Each structure stands twice: as C-alpha cells, then as structure tokens.
Amino acid sequence: MVFTGTSYFGAGARENILTEVTKRNFRRALFVTDPGIEACGIAGKVRNVLDTGNIPYATFSDIKPNPTIENVLDGLRAWEASQADFLIAVGGGSVIDTAEAVSILANNPENRDVVSLEGMDKNRRPGVPVIAVPTTAGTGSETTMDFVITNTAQKRKMACMSSTGVPVAAILDTELMAGMPPGMTAATGMDALTHAVESYLAKGANTFSEMLSLKAVALIADALPKVLKNPRDLKAREDMALAEYMAGMSFTNAGLGIVHSMAHPLSAFYDIPHGVANALILPFGLAFNADVCPKKMKELKKVLCPEAAEDENPAECCCKKIRKLNKMAGLPLSLRELKVNREDLDDLSRSAFEDVSTLDNPKNVTQADLKKLYESMF
C-alpha cells in the first residue's frame, strides 16, 4: 500500500508546515503554485507561515489547469535555479502533479524528456521531498503516487505513477479551501466523488480500499450540497477534505476506470478541467458497469442515496443522484455544452481505450463501446 508520510487536517493546519520543515531539517523551498491561487490570496497565507518561520523560498507559478510537459520543464529549471532542498506545492491537482513531476526529474536526469515517466515506477531514484498543501477538496493528489501531465504534441494525457514520489506531508487546511471560487469547489468536489466511486468498482479494489471509498462517498453525498450552498461551512469543508483524501488513498491503491480514461482525452483535446469532465461522464460510466457488479451497486446506493426507496433500482438511483449534484453545482450535463466536436470521437475513443485507467475498469470494454458512450453524452 502507498500512503503520504504525515497528514494534518482542519482550519489553520498550515501552521504545521513549520513542524514538518523543522523535523525534516529542510533549509530552502521552491514554492509551487498557480496564478489563480496567487490572485485569490491563498498563496500569500501560506507564504506568511514560511516568513514567520524564516524559511527562505523561491517561487514557480507558471502552471496551466492541465499541466503540460513544458510546464514541468519550466518548473525543473526553476528548481535548479532555486538552490532549494524541498518543494511546497500550494494548489489543486495541477499544481501538486507538477511539483511531483519536478521532484522526480530533479533526481532522475535520464527521465528529463518527461515522456519516459509515463507508466508505473519509471524512475530509478526517489524524488526530492514535496510538502503538499491542497486548496481543493477533490483530486487527492496529496496522497497519491499519480501525476498526470499533458503531452500537447500528441494531444493526450500521460498517467505517470511513482511509488517513491508520494508527498512526504499533506496539509489539508479547510480555511484555505473555503477561499476557492464556487466553480472550482463544485468541479473538484465531483472529482472526489468520481475517485471514490471508480476506485470502489475497480478491478484492483480490496477490503481496505472499499472501506475508504464507501466512507468517502457517504461524506461527499452529505457535505457537497452544504458547501455549494454555504462556502464558509467549515465543518462541511472538513468532511470534503477528509473524503477527497480517503478517495485518493483508495484509488492510488485500487485503480480507477473508464470515467477517467474518457475524461483524460477531453482535457488533452479541449483543455476541459479534469473535474468537469469526470462529473459529466460519471453517471454514464456507472450505468455501463452496473451489470457486472450488482452487489456493489446496492452498497453504493445505500451511501450515495440514503433517502431512496428500498425498491428503487440501485444504478438508476445513483446515476440520478449524480446528475442532481451536477445540476446543483452548475456543471455541464452534455458534451454539446463543452463544444466537443463529433468529428473527434474516433480519436477521443482511441485515446481513451489506450489510457491506463481502462485496464482497471470492472467491465471489459472495446473502443467501439467508448465511442458509443461519448455519443450518448451529446
């Protein structure tokens, strides 16, 4: 099993950054973030902690919502110029994924084409230490060995996994998460739900991962509507942070499925945010897989739809609940809304079929199946 070294939860948890820096004898940081986190003031709150502790740092913030090979190489150059001995990643999945990639490249010059990191454990040496400070309750990147980088030349996302690249510490501060814009809160919340549902159904699921997945689904079903209605509900924020963390732990050990493999090409082709793509695809993927895991669908219904009638079809109930959450969150419900071109469906389905997440899907799937699913989403 792969897990983050140390984790801190709750309002004000960012103060524990100094505890970790002192304990690990770190001297200087490369502070990794993005323009949005800078603009809304969240990065400044974390910098204040470093300043209070007299921890010097350099900053790298040139990161796109779907980070590219170019972003990673720019980050590597920033690392080399910084004279730092650890990275602190403040942001969502894009920021933390970029920091993890830079971390691995810093100690593995043979992988500096970035492309060679695609797959499982392609690096020979562990990366430099990363402290992850997630600002969204969605990706679970702070507790996973996965980092996803866009290959713009080939219009596809590369799923990279390194069991020695997991952050050494995760700081889940609900005060920081409460400062995120509503749209980001919605998309990342549905991303967390997708992680929990897909890892529960994945071929690699086990007793421990299933326990984490179901608890995460139950927390999200209760907390996400509350956060959408009241962004300052810190108890609901804390439940969302715990849920996305548990879902991240689950999927990094159990795998995912076709929702992710179909979402990745949409981000690579159209730069659609990952959480938005996952949210749209999730009910379609769930319906596709329902017939091969009827017992799990019944358990999923209990935690996702506790208000449902006992005789209601589990898969239909869960899909209806997911679409209701998407609508409440103001997220798109069709590919047409995302301006996806039907002419791209062959390329999208080919890329999805070749994606590593397809291997973990509980039901065997063909490229033709994936194309039909995309078509049904218009």
Give the domain ranges of the chain: 6-176, 181-376
Q: Give the model's pLDDT for residue 376.
A: 97
Biggest alpha carbon distance in the chain? 62
In the chain, % helix, strand, coil (3-state, to 5) comes to 60, 10, 30
Is pLDDT at 258 greater than 70 in this prediction? yes
Q: Which sign, positive or negative, has the C-alpha torsion 22, 25, 29, 34?
A: negative
Q: Give the model's pLDDT for residue 267.
A: 93
pTM of the model: 0.87
Q: Give the model's pLDDT for residue 303.
A: 96
Mean pLDDT, range 242-262, rounded to an integer: 94
User: What is the DSSP track for 344-365?
Assistant: GHHHHHHHHHHSGGGGG-SS--
Mean pLDDT, range 274-279, rounded to an integer: 95
Confidence band for 286, pLDDT divided at 50, 70 and 90: very high
Q: Give the model's pLDDT for residue 139.
A: 74
- Burial of 307 (C-beta count, 10 Å sphere; 0-12/13-18/19+): exposed
> Cβ distance 268 to 22 under 8 Å?
no
Is pLDDT at 26 greater than 90 in this prediction? yes
Mean pLDDT, range 166-187, rounded to an integer: 87
Q: Tens digit of pLDDT for each residue in 179-224? A: 777 888 889 999 999 999 999 999 999 999 999 999 999 999 999 9
CB crowding 227-236: b at 16 or more within 10 Å, else e: bbeebebbeb
Confidence band for 2, pLDDT divided at 50, 70 and 90: low
Whole-number mean pLDDT of the chain? 93
Q: Count how many residues are written for the chain.
A: 378
Query: Using CA atoms, how far apart are residues 353 and 372, in angstroms rounded to an integer?
Result: 12
The CATH code of the domain at 181-376 is 1.20.1090.10
Q: Give the model's pLDDT for residue 197.
A: 98
CA distances from 246 to 3, 125, 197 (A): 10, 27, 12
Give Cβ neighbours of residue 306 (< 8 Å, ≥ 6 apart): 221
Architecture of the domain spanning 6-176: 3-Layer(aba) Sandwich (3.40)
